[in-house]
Amino acid sequence: MPLLVVQIVDSGGVGAGGLQNSSQGTLDLAVNAVGHMPGPRVKVERDIAADLPDVTVDPDRIVQVLVNLLSNAMKFSPAGASVRVAARAERGGILCSVSDRGPGMTAEERDRLFQPFVQLAGGAKVGGTGLGLVITRHIMEQHGGTITVASTPGKGSEFSIWIP
């Protein structure tokens, strides 16, 4: 199983210890973490390219991003549906997407998602605080990356992060 290959910025930053080149199972950590969450059993399908470039990230924060996107996808999926995680090289970095076959959302709803405490119809019923995506976008900005959403109401959603 190919792993997301990351360069770990150690606790001393890019100074003393410098950058470490390490194959860190970032995606595995995230999938394992959500595997311990209560809720309907949802299968996670993976489509991870073998030729991912090294990227410089804070691995704990990127795991947090992936856990939030995966936990959302699982929360809003009908039981028995599968969630897909894909990663490929893109513009010198990595594009990683989490797709689900949940309720999806309208363009207007999509525009409100990244505001604090916003939960769409049904969102609050499933639990959570409505802060996950706010934190997620903040972490992506700190990495100089992006997060984008594509969604069709009734069909599902795809959240994509790009790590430079």
The pair of three-digit structure tokens given for residue 111, joined into one six-digit string: 């525009």
Residue that the structure tokens 């207007």 belong to: 108
CB-CB contact of 161 with 69 (8 Å): yes
CB-CB contact of 8 with 20 (8 Å): yes
Q: Is 85 in the site for ligand ATP (CB under 6 A)?
A: no
Q: Is 105 in the site for ligand ATP (CB under 6 A)?
A: yes
CA–CA separation, 86 and 38 (whole Å): 23
User: Which one of Mg ion, ligand ATP, none interacts with residue 73, CB within 5 to 8 A by kind?
Assistant: ligand ATP
- The distance of closest approach from Cβ of residue 60 to ligand ATP in the complex, given in angstroms and rounded to an integer, is 17
Which of 7, 24, 26, 72 is the binder for Mg ion (CB under 5 A)? 72
Q: Is 123 in the site for ligand ATP (CB under 6 A)?
A: yes
Q: Residue 51: what residue type?
A: D
CA–CA separation, 25 and 11 (whole Å): 18
Report the number of secondary-structure helices (H) and strands (E) in the chain: 4, 8
- The distance of closest approach from Cβ of residue 77 to ligand ATP in the complex, given in angstroms and rounded to an integer, is 8
Q: Is 97 in the site for ligand ATP (CB under 6 A)?
A: no
Binding site for Mg ion (CB under 5 A): 68, 72, 132
Binding site for ligand ATP (CB under 6 A): 68, 72-73, 76, 100, 102-103, 105, 113, 118-120, 123, 128-133, 157
